[in-house]
Amino acid sequence: MKIRFHGAVRTVTGSLHIVETAQGEIVLLDCGMFQGRRQEARERNERFPLEPKRVKAVVLSHAHIDHIGNLPSWVARGLRCPVYATHATADLCGIMLRDSAKIQEYDAKHVNKNRRPHERTVQPLYTAEHAEATLKLLRAKPYHDWFEVLPGLRARYQDAGHILGSAGITLEERHNGSVKRLGFTGDVGRDQRVILRDPEPLEAGADVLLSESTYGDREHPPQADLHEQLAQVLERTIKRRGRVIIPAFALGRTQTLLYAMYKLQQAGRLPKVPVYVDSPLACMATGIVERHPECYDGEAKEILRDEGTLFAVQGYACITDVADSKALNESRDPCVIVSASGMCEAGRILHHLLHHIEDEKNTILIVGFQAEHTLGRKLVEQWETVRIFGRRIERRAEVVTLNGFSAHAGRSELAAYLEKSRPAGPLFLVHGDEKQGLAFEDFLERERGFPDVRLPHEGDEWKV
Ligand SMILES: [Zn+2]
């Protein structure tokens, strides 16, 4: 078989790797959306390296938009084939792709409203119908069991411990008496995270291994102190009768926080206040996490058995209605509000920031990665004046950043995972900025004795 690199090469978004079997059949590993500035993102998401009709199967690693989000574009242009995913990923695809289609349609409408008379109208990248057509192609598979992708080609999922349903993938081809194996890590999580199991290494000895490299040049702080730090922030703020506003990604981070708050409550460390999750997508994602205990670690299974739910935080309420969301800002009583978007670029979190940022009693708690130029990054950098909805606002609220919640392995954790998954052939690094990738390549070769680590360019091919 042959692997051709297309997306997530020397960058972190748009995961897409093209496999061509010995019989000349095409299989995609992931089909992610490229996320970035509007024009560039649009161009990259509409650049198809081959006729979508030719694809015979898609194998997805997990339900983050940068791994699944461009699939409806391919479907809109003729892709009609089985799309494999774990059971939890298949469920999450439902909410993530429908939400993404809504954003695409809203975005096109917004651009058209503001266009000048000589400019052409913009079509959404894809629509709700394309998302629905994509969901019909999904075929859910359990972890660990080999399944046939095409005659002569089988695949197996192993838990990647990154988000619910996330998996590393092994592809195995049998052709003319020879057996070839390709490993793909997807995104790799960290050991000892709440709810999820630890990442399972892929079987060593593959003919080629593709690995993510998001934090290839960085270590994460230990997770052990994290709950203590969270407890201190909550206690301090509530004691001064303030509110804690937490921007968080709907899938993953929100559920981790709820779980952490439940644990604090059990330990008597969470003051009795309401905990609101104000994001329809986050509420749906939480519901899906509850429906997939097959993905839980031992502790989460125990809590489910004792409490009947993983998210048994007292005072927890899910807010979906816009009116209820607005009502949260009519009172000043202490509470915790978790809302999206995670980088404070859009969504309901902006309204909550607007209403709370000027009061020094409140705390804005940052728990996720904040890209450059976002409002979230400015908050991390402790800017004293920020712009929200075009208004200059003075920030008086305390801003606290907790970095330990990352869903990605740091450098040493990822290297340890790769040592257990050591391939017989080359190790290709994808899904990392060039700087991270180069640093990690160097680290793996010098410090961990990997003989052949490569950073591919778009369009590079490798024959297994
Ligand atoms: Zn991911």
pLDDT-based confidence at residue 114 (cuts at 50, 70, 90): confident
Cα(328)–Cα(320) distance, integer angstroms: 12
Residues 6+ apart with CB under 8 A from 438: 455
Q: Give the 3-state DSSP-derived string for 175-205, with helices as H, strands as E and coil as C.
A: ECCEEEEEEECCCCCCCCCCCECCCCCCCCC
CA 118–ligand 1 middle distance (angstroms): 40
Q: Count H helices, E strands: the chain? A: 14, 22
pLDDT at 223 over 80: no
CA 68–ligand 1 middle distance (angstroms): 10
CA-wise closest residue to 197 among 161, 233, 240, 148? 161
CA 187–ligand 1 middle distance (angstroms): 5
CA 433–ligand 1 middle distance (angstroms): 14
CA 189–ligand 1 middle distance (angstroms): 9
Q: Which two tokens stand for residue 339?
A: 């809302």
CA 62–ligand 1 middle distance (angstroms): 7
- The predicted pLDDT at position 406 comes to 87
CA 125–ligand 1 middle distance (angstroms): 22
pTM above 0.85, yes or no: yes
Cβ neighbour number for residue 453 with a 10 Å cutoff: 21
pLDDT at 222 over 80: no
Over residues 421-446, the pLDDT tens digits come to: 999 999 999 999 899 999 999 999 99
How confident is the model over 40-68, as a mean pLDDT? 95
How confident is the model over 37-41, as a mean pLDDT? 83
CA 232–ligand 1 middle distance (angstroms): 29
CA 321–ligand 1 middle distance (angstroms): 28
CA 199–ligand 1 middle distance (angstroms): 13
| Single-letter residue type at 462 | W
How confident is the model over 35-40, as a mean pLDDT? 82
CA 82–ligand 1 middle distance (angstroms): 22
Q: Three-state DSSP class for 307?
A: helix
pLDDT-based confidence at residue 172 (cuts at 50, 70, 90): very high
How confident is the model over 2-29, as a mean pLDDT? 94
CA 394–ligand 1 middle distance (angstroms): 34
Domain ranges of the chain: 2-218+407-463, 226-405
- 180, 1 contact by CB (below 8 A): yes
- The predicted pLDDT at position 119 comes to 87
- 207, 325 contact by CB (below 8 A): no
Over residues 382-425, the pLDDT tens digits come to: 999 999 999 999 999 999 999 888 899 999 999 999 999 999 99
Does CATH number 3.50.50.60 belong to domain 2-218+407-463? no
CA-wise closest residue to 317 among 258, 365, 265? 258
- 168, 160 contact by CB (below 8 A): yes
CA 130–ligand 1 middle distance (angstroms): 23
Which residue would you say has higher pLDDT here, 55 or 36?
A: 55
Which residue would you say has higher pLDDT here, 405 or 283?
A: 283
CA 398–ligand 1 middle distance (angstroms): 30
Beta bridge partners of 453: 427
CA 162–ligand 1 middle distance (angstroms): 7
Write down how long the chain is. Answer: 464
- 218, 339 contact by CB (below 8 A): no
CA 334–ligand 1 middle distance (angstroms): 33
| Single-letter residue type at 456 | P
Which residue would you say has higher pLDDT here, 221 or 78?
A: 78
| Single-letter residue type at 316 | Y
Asked whether the bond before 213 is cis by omega within 30 degrees of 0, the reply is no
Cα(415)–Cα(430) distance, integer angstroms: 14
pLDDT-based confidence at residue 320 (cuts at 50, 70, 90): very high
CA 108–ligand 1 middle distance (angstroms): 26
CA 327–ligand 1 middle distance (angstroms): 33
- The predicted pLDDT at position 199 comes to 98
How confident is the model over 204-210, as a mean pLDDT? 98
- The predicted pLDDT at position 355 comes to 97
94 vs 130, 158, 165, 354, 434, CA distance in Å?
Answer: 12, 21, 13, 32, 32
Cα(246)–Cα(336) distance, integer angstroms: 8
Query: Looking up tokens 């266009």, which residue turns up?
Result: 115
CA 258–ligand 1 middle distance (angstroms): 20
CA 446–ligand 1 middle distance (angstroms): 27
CA 152–ligand 1 middle distance (angstroms): 29
CA 77–ligand 1 middle distance (angstroms): 25
- The predicted pLDDT at position 286 comes to 96
pLDDT at 379 over 90: yes
CA 333–ligand 1 middle distance (angstroms): 36
Cα(27)–Cα(218) distance, integer angstroms: 33
pLDDT at 330 over 90: yes
- 65, 100 contact by CB (below 8 A): yes
Class of CATH domain 226-405: alpha beta
Cα(29)–Cα(11) distance, integer angstroms: 17
CA 12–ligand 1 middle distance (angstroms): 10
Nearest-5° angle of CA 64, CA 464, CA 414? 40
Cα(59)–Cα(127) distance, integer angstroms: 22
Query: Looking up tokens 């969301």, which residue turns up?
Result: 325
Are domains 2-218+407-463 and 226-405 of this chain identical in fold?
no
Beta bridge partners of 113: none
CA 359–ligand 1 middle distance (angstroms): 35
pLDDT-based confidence at residue 381 (cuts at 50, 70, 90): very high
